[in-house]
Amino acid sequence: MNVRDDTSPALDSASVRLFLCGDVMTGRGIDQILPHPSAPELHEDFVRDARDYVLLAERRSGWIPKPVTPEYVWGAALSELEQRAPDARIVNLETSITRSDDWVDKGINYRMHPDNVGCLTTARIDVCALANNHVLDYGYAGLLETLEVLERAGCHYAGAGRTLSEAYRPARLPLRSGTLRVFSVGTPSSGIPESWAAGQNRPGVALLPEVSESAAEELVSRIRRDKGVGDLVVVSIHWGPNWGYELPRAWVEFAHRLVEGGVDLVHGHSSHHPRAIEVYRGKLVLYGCGDFVTDYEGIEGYEEYRGDLAPMYFATLEPHSGRLLDLRLRVMQSRRLRLERATSRDVSWLERMLSTISAQFGTRFETAADGTIALARSAP
């Protein structure tokens, strides 16, 4: 394990710090331990009751008190967020928030009861990316209620909407200088049905039919029409399968074209574990952030990928230019359906793995004295 002595770089007070993570899946087992659980019936091949996911977690890690407070599932992540005080908190919300029973026959369905939305507001989530393969799990009624619940709760969202233009509309957050604009798009490779694509007058998600040069050009054109002088732009993209470290060349070219077109950070997700990280032309590309809040604890299979490790990504950007100044990962682990700090041994494992899979981009990581994983700085 490489250890760095400093705990944080000297940063300008005007710099912009973002918190990003991968999949936040507050349905199913998570929803069942919150104060207002949905009906537990599921339509999966092997599990018919959402409470069974709670039992699996208890068998793995111990008894879970029920009901829990909204703060419970975030665990140690809340104090980390308070300490680092990011200017914006961005997640991929991979759950519908609805009372709808109009479930879609697609194998796995996620929903959280609307009265449990405090699970998001207690973590002061600013932006929910919604262009993913679970936001329409309970049909158009479920999607529309999800949007309404988020609006009432004061959570910005992007990537889904009542029309095509709304689905592509970015979330906009004021910064000390300029505006942060977060776009959210998804691809069929992540499991999003093509029928979920928003239409001119049809609700749905911002679905890219493919990861291609033409799709990148179209997205860049949308971003340029919206971006103002001094604004920072994040593109949150749901792509690829659940497991595996291989990156298709088309993904890399797509991310590069976005950066060349004015995007300051690419926020990838869908895989249940972290993927490679690149700094391209000074801009951060996270090809896959892994899972964050889920009910997967106790489910067996693919243990070699360590999907139980849940990184918090803290990226510090230079204002106006969007150049990456610093990247820190605080590694969490799900135990009893709440986030706890991972052990130093697990942090070391992830540091080595990230360096290995990111070496193709010349990216290297080391462990800082505060236990975070830090992007290694080149010697002057």
CATH number for 298 = 3.60.21.10
- Asked whether residue 380 is assigned to any structural domain, the reply reads no
- Asked whether residue 101 is assigned to any structural domain, the reply reads yes
Cβ atoms < 10 Å from Cβ of 14: 11
Largest CA distance in the chain: 59
Whether 324 contacts 316, CB under 8 Å: yes
- Asked whether residue 96 is assigned to any structural domain, the reply reads yes
Is residue 74 classed as helix, strand or coil in its secondary structure?
helix
- Asked whether residue 232 is assigned to any structural domain, the reply reads yes
What is the span of the domain harbouring residue 171? 3-375
- Asked whether residue 290 is assigned to any structural domain, the reply reads yes
Whether 285 contacts 266, CB under 8 Å: yes
- Asked whether residue 161 is assigned to any structural domain, the reply reads yes
- Asked whether residue 317 is assigned to any structural domain, the reply reads yes
Structurally, the chain folds into a number of domains equal to 1
User: pTM of the predicted model, to two decimals?
Assistant: 0.96
The tens-digit pLDDT sequence of the chain (380 residues) is: 455 555 454 456 689 999 999 999 999 999 999 999 999 999 999 999 999 999 999 999 999 999 999 999 999 999 999 999 999 999 999 999 999 999 999 999 999 999 999 999 999 999 999 999 999 999 999 999 999 999 999 999 999 999 999 999 999 999 988 899 999 999 999 999 999 999 999 999 999 999 999 999 999 999 999 998 889 999 999 999 999 999 999 999 999 999 999 999 999 999 999 999 999 999 999 999 999 999 999 999 999 999 999 999 999 999 999 999 999 999 999 999 999 999 999 999 999 999 999 999 999 999 999 999 999 964 33
- Asked whether residue 102 is assigned to any structural domain, the reply reads yes
**Residue 259 — left, alpha, or beta (φ > 0 → left; ψ -120 to 50 → alpha)?**
alpha
Alpha-helix runs per DSSP H in the chain: 29-33, 51-61, 77-84, 118-121, 139-153, 164-168, 213-226, 249-260, 344-358
Task: For residues 344 and 10, give the distance between their C-alpha atoms in angstroms, rounded to a whole number.
Answer: 25
